[in-house]
Amino acid sequence: MIFAGINFPPIAELLDWKPIAFGSTAFMFNKIAVLTLLSAAITLILFFVAGRRQQLVPRGIQNIMESSVDFITNSVVIDVMGQEGLAWVPWLTGLFFFILFNNLFEVIPFIQMPATARTSVTIPLALIVYVTFIVVGIKKQGFGRYFKSALVPSGVPVALLILLVPIELLSTFIVRPFALAVRLFGNMLAGHLLLVTFAVISEALFVRGIGLIVLPLPAATLVVLTGYEIFVGFLQAFIFTILTAVYLGESLGGGH
Q: What is the pLDDT of residues 196-223, one digit of tens each?
A: 777 776 666 665 555 554 556 666 777 8
Can you tell me the distance from the alpha carbon of 42 to that of 94, in angstroms, rounded to the nearest whole number?
11
Say which DSSP state 173 is in: I
User: CA 17, 32, 132 angle in degrees (round to 5)?
Assistant: 135
Cross-strand bridge partners of residue 22: 25
97 pLDDT more than 50: yes
225 pLDDT more than 70: yes
Per the prediction, the chain carries an average pLDDT of 83
Q: How confident is the model at residue 51 (pLDDT cuts 50, 70, 90)?
A: confident
Can you tell me the distance from the alpha carbon of 99 to that of 125, in angstroms, rounded to the nearest whole number?
9
pLDDT score at 215: 57
To the nearest whole percent, how much of the chain has pLDDT over 70?
79
Q: Which domain holds residue 101?
A: 2-253
* In contact, 84 and 251? CB cutoff 8 Å: no
Query: Which one has a higher pLDDT value, 26 or 36?
Result: 36
Q: How confident is the model at residue 194 (pLDDT cuts 50, 70, 90)?
A: confident
| Lowest model confidence (mean pLDDT) among 46-50, 51-55, 100-104, 174-178 | 51-55
In this prediction, residues 41-55 reach a mean pLDDT of 86
195 pLDDT more than 70: yes
| Lowest model confidence (mean pLDDT) among 49-58, 117-126, 223-232 | 49-58
Nearest CA to 14 out of 38, 36, 32 is that of: 32
Give, in order, the Cα–Cα distances in Å from 143 to each of 38, 105, 136, 137, 245. Answer: 38, 41, 10, 8, 21
In this prediction, residues 2-9 reach a mean pLDDT of 52
Tally the domains of the chain: 1
pLDDT score at 86: 93
Q: How confident is the model at residue 80 (pLDDT cuts 50, 70, 90)?
A: very high
Q: Is 13 exposed, middle or buried (0-12, 13-18, 19+ CB in 10 A)?
A: exposed
Task: Say whether pTM exceeds 0.75.
Answer: yes
pLDDT score at 26: 54
In this prediction, residues 114-140 reach a mean pLDDT of 94
239 pLDDT more than 90: yes
Most confidently modeled of 96-100, 140-144, 175-179? 96-100
Phi, psi of 154 (to 5 degrees): -75, 145
In this prediction, residues 152-166 reach a mean pLDDT of 81
Can you tell me the distance from the alpha carbon of 143 to that of 148, in angstroms, rounded to the nearest whole number?
9
